[in-house]
Structure 1
Amino acid sequence: MITTLDHTIKESIQHALEEAKQTNQSVIVSRVQEVDAIDPLHFFASGENLYLGERFFWSTPTADMTMVGLGNELVIDNENQTFERFQKIEKEWKRFNKRVVTESQKQIGTGPLLFGGFSFDPKKEKGLLWEEFSEAKFVLPTIMLTKFQNKAYLTINKVITPLDQLDTCIRHFEQSLENEPPFIYQKDCEKGNEFASIELKTAEWVEAIEKATADIRANELDKVVLAREVHLEFMNKINPYQVIGNLQKEQPTSFIFGFENGLHHFIGATPERLVKKHENEVLSTCLAGSIKRGKTSDDDEMLGRQLLQDEKNLVEHAIVVKMIKDAFEEYCYEVKAPNEPALLKTKNIQHLYTPVKGLAKQGHSLISMVEKLHPTPALGGYPKEKAIEKIRELEPMHRGWYAAPIGWFDHEDNGEFVVAIRSGLIKGNRAALFAGCGIVEESKPESEYYETKIKLKPMLSALGGADHECN
């Protein structure tokens, strides 16, 4: 049950307390108010003292919408190595009654919502790098800033239990507004943070490609995506605010995300939307097949035309489009997609791109669509189950949250998930970066290795390791 309230916050809390005691169930109260413009990255940094390890950052392409969460008012996670994690997260979220108090017109991305992500494959034995990450983890922030176009909104959330007291709950909302210290992160333009890099198990990865192409030629499957990892160790501690700021500047056509899990920061700039839902309108992005950017505009155009005519990349892209359209046909009506792909250009790479749109059928939620689509052939392969099994068998790494869904959904089933590629896991002065390639019958290890080098550039540059200038 969701009730939108327009009376005072004190009365709302009182009603929530009475409901919690009567039902013996916790109730979420969210207060939303429009505020003066706040820089989202500064707001994110301002939570370091009180909320370190419990923050998230989310920004859509061209920063049309940015959300920053501070504090974990509620955590819903799943350690089970099963695919029931999607249903568990959704079921737990629905268990809470939610009351929204707003002084302004309702805005998407405000009020009670969960932000978080899933692991790529819960059935693969977890490596040391990802041992502190659950197979699924979502958080309701204590305080959240939402910037939408030229307006800013502050949401304060409180989980009210049957044992809570009215005065304590009221203080929560008051203190959440008062306790935000001013904090302006400093741009560190120093070039002295040198680093060493280690490419892990490259020979095994090349061997995996050779085995995969042999299996594809033997008609075991059509495509499989194989990823590799690179570890960096810097002289000094990595500044996560600088990394996010660099990604915003250098990757304006991508989704920028950051999720803190204790001392770990999972950060990335992905061009790939998995699925977006607003009311019953659903949108997905097919992104597969890629080539580098040109050094001149003429060179860039020539490379783009080459990609649009490249048989290997067109086949790879068509597999993704077919899978996503098939999923939409099951979960949506009025499914539409262009007949030919277009180009999506980021700073370092250009992709074949096809949007798919539809209207959600009744009974199909955003999370159910995330489960249906993950992993797309762009990140797993095709057919899906055979590709996942092949990745478990051949890939010489554990993906953790890399290449998995990360995003948000609210109390009315609006939300958006992306695929966590072009990403890195940061802790202290160390970073692990990841990149993968779609392997089909014509794949060559040398060209696939070169493609991963291009895909590693966005995070490497944001860390200050390549093509980086500080203005």
Structure 2
Amino acid sequence: MQHFNAEGEKLSLKSVQPRGFYFSSQERTIIGNGLRHFISIPAQGGEELHSELQKEISRCFKKEIERGVDNPILIGCIPFDVSAPSCLYVPENVTSYSNRPDLNNEPNVLGSINDFGVVSKRSKPNESSFKEAVDKAVGKFKSTELEKAVLSRVLEIELNSDVDVEQILTRLIKQNPKGFHFSIPQPDRSVLVGASPELLIRKEGGSIYSNPLAGSAKRQSNKQQDKITSEKLQGSVKDNYEHRLVIDQIATQLSPYCQTLHVPQQPSLFDTPTMWHLATSIEGELKDAQTNALQLACLLHPTPAVCGYPFNLSHDAIKELEPHDRGMFTGMVGWCDAQGNGEWAVTIRCGKVRDNSVRLFAGAGIVDASCPNAEWAETEAKLGTMLDAFGLKEQEVA
């Protein structure tokens, strides 16, 4: 079977040439090297075992088991648009740890990065266009049944020297210890790297866990002001409404697959070094423990946290209002094994790196109460995770 990228170019093992694969959480670290299989089949319908994607993965796993691999592992990413090519790998060699590497004994990690100079920068869309798109989205809430739309932007930066992706990844791990960290090579010779705070789904045996985020506020340097900010977020009618749309949708989708499903009535606060989020920890036990992690991830993706609600209307609004292709941004990234276990995070707080070119991504959930200025500021704050990893200040790329 032949597979093609978005530009219609044929993809093959030779065209991929991965430099290694990495995914880590507080639960497990997966490091892969070498390449046995590359899968670009779109994830559309991937929640079904008879889908083309699931059948191809099963075929690859079977080949690996036949050559003596006890429990083959798949690692990679799936784009926001599930009709676009996936980027999934079965590595030749995989090392799995029960936690992530300890960086506490590497005190110079944060100070060791090269001082990058910004040669050029461009936001797509620019500030005025993004705010105009927010206004248009709010207008749709009044004239249609659309209740939420997530709008994103891309910050394109050209630096004065090539980027060492491993160094950026190490800094992301050090700076964001609670995140989901990843470095996944792409067919266009770029590398997708990031530190997502959001778990789409984790499956181990018959147990599942999801921790969706929706509703955000920028962290403050002053401790008292930061506390006030978190309390305002927790009490925000707008943000709680946005969050509830996400939780209700995920619960509705998971319920038919679960014999038990616990969904807290109220969200809790979740913090990263740059942001406060509203979060809900959802736990359940599957009716059929053989349902694999990627099936569940495909069932949920994309959630209202990255697309909107209802799905069709929000997806149409994104296509109309966003001037760029999101690619892997707001997709999902992670791993699964031949036993059906796995972990998939939402691909946010990330960037694509190729030589000295960097593309960073950020988005904001738009609801009826949204203010264009506040939504732009939210995207600026969310870019802080990746800018910090490059040693860049917000004002340097503003």
Q: Which residue of 2 aligns with 1:368?
A: 295
Deviation at 1:311, TM superposition (A): 0.6
Deviating more after overlay: 235-244 vs 214-223: 214-223
1:370 CA drift (Å): 1.3
1:398 alignment partner in structure 2: 325
Partner of 2:38: 75
Aligned to 1:279: 205
Query: What does 1:334-345 correspond to in 2, within 5 Å?
Result: 334-345=260-271
Structure 1 residues 72 and 186: alpha-carbon distance in aligned structure 2, compared to 1, 3 A threshold? farther
Preserved CA contact (<8 Å) 1:100 1:111: no
Paired with 1:150 and 1:447, the residues of 2 have a C-alpha distance of 35
1:72 alignment partner AA: L
In the alignment, residue 60 of structure 1 is paired with which amino acid? Answer: S
TM-score w.r.t. the length of structure 1 is 0.73
Find the counterpart in structure 1 of residue 53 from structure 2.
89
What is residue 155 of structure 2 aligned with on the other side? Answer: 230
Q: Deviations over 1:242-284 (max 9, x none)?
A: 1101101111111011101252100011000001110110111
Aligned residue number for residue 179 of structure 1: none
> Deviations along 1:42-83, whole A, 9 cap, x unmatched?
xxxxxxxxx96242111104xx421111111111222x5x82
Match of 1:306 in 2: 232
CA distances 1:385-405 after superposition (whole Å, capped 9, x unpaired) = 221121112212110010001
For residue 187 of structure 1, report the CA deviation from its aligned partner: 7.7
Q: Is the 8 A contact 1:54 1:72 kept in 2?
A: no
- Is the 8 Å Cα contact of residues 77 and 135 (structure 1) preserved in structure 2? yes
Q: After superposition, what is the alpha-carbon deviation per residue over 1:432-452, rounded to whole angstroms, capped at 9, x for unaligned?
A: 011110000011111100000
Residues 174-218 of structure 1: per-residue CA shift (max 9 Å, x gap): xxxxxxxxxxx9984442544432112223322221111011122
Residue 314 of structure 1 deviates from its aligned partner by 0.6
Higher RCO by CA contacts (8 Å cutoff, separation 6 or greater): 2
Task: Describe the shift of the 1:396–1:405 C-alpha distance in structure 2 as closer, same or farther (beyond 3 A).
Answer: same
Instruction: Give the Cα separation in 2 of the matches to 1:332 and 1:457.
Output: 37
Residues 248, 215 of structure 1: alpha-carbon distance in 2 compared, 3 angstrom cutoff: same
Amino acid aligned to 2:129: E
1:196 aligns with 2:161: no
Q: In the alignment, is the contact (CA less than 8 A) between 2:24 and 2:100 conserved in 1? A: no
2:13 aligned residue: none
1:416 is displaced (CA, Å) by 0.7
Does the 8 A contact of 1:187 with 1:242 survive in 2? no
Q: How many residues align?
A: 365
Structure 1 residues 148 and 90, CA gap change in structure 2 (3 angstroms): same
Amino acid aligned to 1:66: T
Compared CA separation, residues 149 and 213, structure 1 to 2 (3 A):
closer
Report the equivalent of 1:451.
Answer: 378
Q: Which runs of 5+ in 1 are unaligned?
A: 1-50, 103-109, 124-133, 153-184
1: CA distance, partners of 2:155 / 2:284 = 38
Instruction: Tell me which residue corresponds to 1:261.
Output: 186
Looking at CA atoms only, which structure, 1 or 2, has the larger radius of gyration? 1
Counterpart of 1:409?
336
Q: Which moved more, 1:267-276 or 1:388-397?
A: 388-397
Unaligned runs of 5+ in 2: 1-15, 103-108
Give the CA RMSD over aligned residues: 2.5
The TM-score, its normalising length taken from structure 2, stands at 0.86
Alignment partner, residue 251 of structure 1: 176
Q: Aligned partner of 1:73: which letter?
A: R
The one-letter code sitting in structure 2 at the alignment partner of 1:464 is G
Deviation at 1:417, TM superposition (A): 0.4
Cα distance between partner residues in 1 of 2:370 and 2:99: 43
Residue in 2 that maps onto 1:333: 259
Superposed CA deviations along residues 10-46 of structure 1, whole A, max 9, x for unmatched, are: xxxxxxxxxxxxxxxxxxxxxxxxxxxxxxxxxxxxx
Distance 2:382 2:330 in 1: 13
Q: Quote the Cα distance in structure 2 between the aligned partners of 1:268 and 1:280.
A: 29
Amino acid in the other structure paired with 1:71 = G
- Percent identity, aligned pairs only, is 30
Partner of 2:380, secondary structure, is helix
2:308 pairs with 381, 385, 389, which one? Answer: 381
